[in-house]
Amino acid sequence: MQAEPLITAVYESLLKAGACPVVQMMPDGLMERFFRLGHAHHFDRLTAYDRAAARTIDARIRILSQSNTRELAGIDPTRQTRHARAARPLMNALLKKPWVLTLFPTAAYAQDAGMSVRAFEDFVYATLWADEPDPVRAWQKLSREQDKLVSRLRGANRIHIVGPGTDLHLSVKGRRFINSDGHHNLPSGEVFTGPVEDSVEGVITYDFPVCTGGREIDGICLVFRGGRVVESSATKGEDYLRAMLRTDPGAIRLGELGIGTNRRIQQFTRNILFDEKMGGTIHLALGNSYPETGGRNRSAVHWDMIKDLRKGGALYVDGKVFQKDGRFR
């Protein structure tokens, strides 16, 4: 388990704080065996243990540390979508409790990002402001900057996104923008909300591959009518894209509009934990919405896709330029 040094350090800190930590570590290759060897009941039902754990734990810290990010590439995607549907009540329960998600640098993540392990480690620490003399102060500064964006977006109605292959309209009327400033995802650096579910109209072409479920889906183009995806295509992984869209009725609607603000992330890493925070980009997630935004869409999937506004794109709020060419105006 490559993240063992970080897990041990977190365990020690929790003990010192008086918490009662329970460690669960998943060996490399276990998920591939689960999906390859499992029976119907493994994918369609939750165990009593899973239900009890979600009900009784106080908080959760999750540390990603894959040694092979393509481990599930050969798995039947219908098994993955069935398992996601079954696990949806579990995830909903866990999201109501305090949680943190972060990543331990591994060779697999570094390779996906096109970096050496040392360079990727330095990149990760920089995105967390862990290389600063006072990281907490740096996070507080980002929080204040994002608060200003949230204030500007308060009371907004119409959002218009334009760019190469993109002309998309949606409403955020009555929805709340959230300041994501390092209390859940680490790294962080975004403001986000849940679009009005039936308001999305137009077309969007995404600029980066979506890397999920052990696959890379590239050249994604989606057409929306009445808030629903009515046409979908991809230059790579199109079959998987369409399988995900069939997961449940909520999978073809948008659950999130996010605006990346972390200027220390400027390159694509093939890891959504970093890429969706990239300063100068926005992301639109198919599927489940966050209730705290006022979003009502429910789905077993939450699939972020990134639009790069640094390459001639713009985001308009109620007819006025909010962000153009990756810069706030």
Higher pLDDT residue, 213 or 82? 82
Looking at every residue in the chain, the average pLDDT score rounds to 94
Indicate where the chain has its CATH 3.40.1830.10 domain(s). 4-127
Tell me the average pLDDT across 149-157. Answer: 96
Superfamily of domain 4-127: Thermophilic metalloprotease (M29) (3.40.1830.10)
Per-residue pLDDT reduced to its tens digit, 280-306: 999 999 999 999 999 999 998 899 999
pTM, whole model, 2 decimals?
0.90
pLDDT band at residue 83, thresholds of 50, 70 and 90?
very high
DSSP 194: -
Per-residue pLDDT reduced to its tens digit, 214-246: 899 999 999 999 999 999 999 999 999 999 999
Q: Of 34, 43, 42, which is closest to residue 81 (Cα–Cα)?
A: 43
What's the pLDDT score for residue 214?
86
pLDDT band at residue 329, thresholds of 50, 70 and 90?
confident
Per-residue pLDDT reduced to its tens digit, 50-72: 999 999 999 999 999 999 999 99
What the block records as the tokens of 200 is 């999305």
| Whether 170 contacts 200, CB under 8 Å | yes
